[in-house]
Amino acid sequence: MSDLKIAVILGSTRPGRNGKAVADWVVERTKGRADATYELVDLADFPLPHLDEPIPAIMGQYQHAHTQEWAAKIDGYDGFVFIIGEYNHSMPGVLKNAVDYLQAEWHDKAAALVGYGGGGGARGVEHMRGVLSEVRIAHVQQSMAFSMHTDFENFTTFRPADLHLDYLGRMLDQLESWGRALRTARVRNELAA
């Protein structure tokens, strides 16, 4: 099988967002990994209005061009790294909305979760786990948490501690392992259909 294709989904569109630096840091450190290709997918490039599809996503009958474009983008990946800012003890609304737009395009794929915020984004990450389970994305155990207090200089300039590199490596190893296994399952299911 060819290399895995993984999207690093930047889950905030807020002006001045800190998540862009976190996403860029993750993508930069994935270069040179032998078994997967990582690519930034910025939700700011996919301006999805509040869910406006008249038919539930589980039916796969997308009516709007913006949904069809989003579906085509997501369908091509084997897994995801979600960059999750913590907003009011949860994930950003734009990220939840982007997940809600689709269904089958998420199924039987793997995800890793990277949080950032005052408390490292932990509550946003935990809320995201429940959402991902519902759309049949298997989320790996290892996640990452970047604190605005210790990993951002003056709460704006991203300067993560070196210890995060070990966690990143462990998380990506888990993601790639599960991504390969789930791709095999998807191919087997397609052949059986």
pLDDT band at 138 (very low <50, low <70, confident <90, very high): very high
- Position 18: which residue type? N
- Report all structural domains of the chain as residue ranges with CATH numbers, in order of start: 4-192 (3.40.50.360)
pTM of the model: 0.96
Using DSSP, how many helices (H) and how many strands (E) does the chain show? 5, 8
As a whole number of Å, the end-to-end CA separation of the chain is: 20
For the chain, what is the mean pLDDT?
95
User: What would the mean pLDDT of 37-55 be, rounded to a whole number?
Assistant: 97
Reported as a single tens digit per residue, the pLDDT across 78-131 is 999 999 999 999 999 999 999 999 999 999 999 999 999 999 999 999 999 999
Confidence label for 191 from pLDDT (cuts 50, 70 and 90): confident
How sure is the predictor about 2, in pLDDT bands with cuts at 50, 70 and 90? Answer: low
pLDDT (average), residues 139-168: 95
pLDDT of residue 188: 84
The sign of the CA dihedral 114, 116, 119, 122 is negative
SS (H, E, C) 48-116: CCCCCCCCCHHHCCCCCHHHHHHHHHHHCCCEEEEEEECECCECCHHHHHHHHCCCCCCCCEEEEEEEE
The answer, yes or no, to whether residue 1 has pLDDT greater than 80, is no
